[in-house]
Structure 1
Amino acid sequence: MPTRHYKYYDWVMVAFVTLLVCSNLIGPAKIAQIDAPLLGTLTFGAGVLFFPISYVFGDVLTEVYGYARSRRVIWTGFVALAFASLMAAVVVALPPAPFWHNQDAYEIAFGSAWRVSLASLIAFCCGEFVNSFVLAKMKVWMDGRRLWMRTIGSTICGEGVDSLLFYPLAFWGTGIIPDDRLPAVMLAQFLAKVSVEVVFTPFTYRIVGWLKRAENEDYYDRDTDFSPFSIRG
């Protein structure tokens, strides 16, 4: 792939990584529950407010710049998330000053167990690569038509993989979330994340159209190496 300079690629990368770190540091400490019309009672992790938007940015990256450049951003997000998780663990482990009495609250907010952090990293990586792969392939198959179908379809695949991996890996058998409640939480998370993608579809269309014109780029992954471990891009 020839090297090109893009005006906005780095900005989209920064937005993606910021949303990712926020979703994993701010959201997981709280499980929320709301009564939704038609759907009934929905139980979900508060990170759902942030994380689905990262998939919107992932769709934009793949649609405009191609899978290989999206792969670069995914790995950047993975490293940022791993570093943030490590530093959170270090800060939580530091002995508190005798006059500081907020250690318990701090541990609840930022003291995710190693199992949760590892599950989050695995689920994120697998889900994002599936999302990007499906979108890139569908773009070639559909010759660039029906963007809405491609973004929603790829999100269903990516978010499905993410939810199926994260909750069992993080919580099965721990008692933090009862095992019999895990399927309901997973389904609610999945539906909420896909719904965000649907709601943001007009926004995605605008951003994609604007970026394609501004960057003079509309990449088709016809000869792309789709290995998630390739460094080309």
Structure 2
Amino acid sequence: MTEGTDRPAHVAARALAGSHFRYFDFLMAAFCVVLVLSNVVGAAKVATLGGLTFGAGILFFPISYVLGDVLTEVYGYARARRVIWAGFAAAIFAAVMCWVIVIMPPAAGWAGQEVYEAAFGQVWRIVGASVAAFWVGEFVNSYVLARMKIWTQGRMLWTRTIGSTVFGQGVDSLIFYPLAFLGVWSNEQVMTVMITNWLMKVGWEAALTPVTYVVVNWLKRREGVDIYDEGTDFTPFRTRV
């Protein structure tokens, strides 16, 4: 399914339903790992560097959006949707696992219970907010990118990756920070971190654009297709490709 030796073939996504790709599974695994660790390890800590206050998870969570962009651009909306649902399930499992471990009675003489409660005691609220924000934000991100690819006829990838991130991360931040931290942080701190993190996420996406170009072009050549979501059903409420 290639045009010549280097240029991948332009293929409608629906024509490849059920097809297997060599690198898709690896990207799905990477997406789920980044998402879970960002939620569990990085979301609750507030850091200040150079006068900017932000959630520490911002350093790594945007990687999931970059991976989401790559998945949609290379494999199409339907396969990106499948990955989003996989990430959703992984985040729920992580929350349940943390909750069970925290509430289990500690053994006599074991002094780590307070540390565990401090580290993971807010996981339910954080993960609940994060899952809701992630689910909506990732689907907005993927939808905008897929539509823009058709509108731009596959040109100017940077407009799609940055444009979709502006909308997707904007929705994500608007949902996550109020749900997770109102009443825990001051209203001013919630607003400051929400706006700062949104700008930083978009900035990260822009900074990583050269990397995104390299990865996308390499994957398209290796997979031998350039998928366009022509005729795709964009409902988020399914996992079948």
Pick which of 57-66 and 115-124 moved more: 115-124
Distance in 1, matches of 2:54 and 2:32, equals: 22
Alignment size in residue pairs = 226
Pick which of 152-161 and 107-116 moved more: 107-116
How far the C-alpha of 1:116 sits from its partner, in A, is: 2.3
Q: In the alignment, which residue of structure 2 is the partner of 1:42?
A: 52
Deviation >6 Å, runs of 4+: none
Equivalent runs, 1:118-137 vs 2, <5 Å: 118-137=128-147
How far the C-alpha of 1:191 sits from its partner, in A, is: 1.2
How far the C-alpha of 1:113 sits from its partner, in A, is: 4.8
Match of 2:187 among 179, 182, 204: 179
Gaps of 5+ in 1: 36-40
How far the C-alpha of 1:139 sits from its partner, in A, is: 0.3
Question: Does structure 2 conserve the Cα–Cα contact (< 8 Å) formed by 1:167 and 1:182?
Answer: yes
Give a deviation string over 1:106-149, Cα, whole Å, max 9, x none: 11212225332211110010010000000000000000010011
Amino acid of the structure 1 residue aligned with 2:35: L
Q: In the alignment, which residue of structure 2 is the partner of 1:5?
A: 20
Match of 1:111 among 121, 136, 140: 121
Q: In the alignment, which residue of structure 2 is the partner of 1:38?
A: none
Match of 2:213 among 201, 205, 212: 205
TM-score for the superposition, normalised by structure 1:
0.94
TM-score for the superposition, normalised by structure 2:
0.91
Q: In the alignment, which residue of structure 2 is the partner of 1:99?
A: 109
Q: In the alignment, which residue of structure 2 is the partner of 1:85?
A: 95
> Is the partner of 2:231 in helix, strand or coil?
coil
How far the C-alpha of 1:30 sits from its partner, in A, is: 1.4
Q: In the alignment, which residue of structure 2 is the partner of 1:227?
A: 235
Distance in 2, matches of 1:109 and 1:76, equals: 25
Distance in 1, matches of 2:188 and 2:217, equals: 44
Query: Alpha carbon RMSD of aligned pairs, Å?
Result: 1.1
Match of 1:66 among 63, 69, 76: 76
Matched-pair identity in % = 57
Question: Does structure 2 conserve the Cα–Cα contact (< 8 Å) formed by 1:140 and 1:222?
Answer: yes
Higher normalized contact order (CA 8 Å, seq sep 6+, divided by chain length): 2
Question: Does structure 2 conserve the Cα–Cα contact (< 8 Å) formed by 1:29 and 1:110?
Answer: no
Distance in 1, matches of 2:39 and 2:227, equals: 30
How far the C-alpha of 1:199 sits from its partner, in A, is: 1.1
Amino acid of the structure 1 residue aligned with 2:111: H
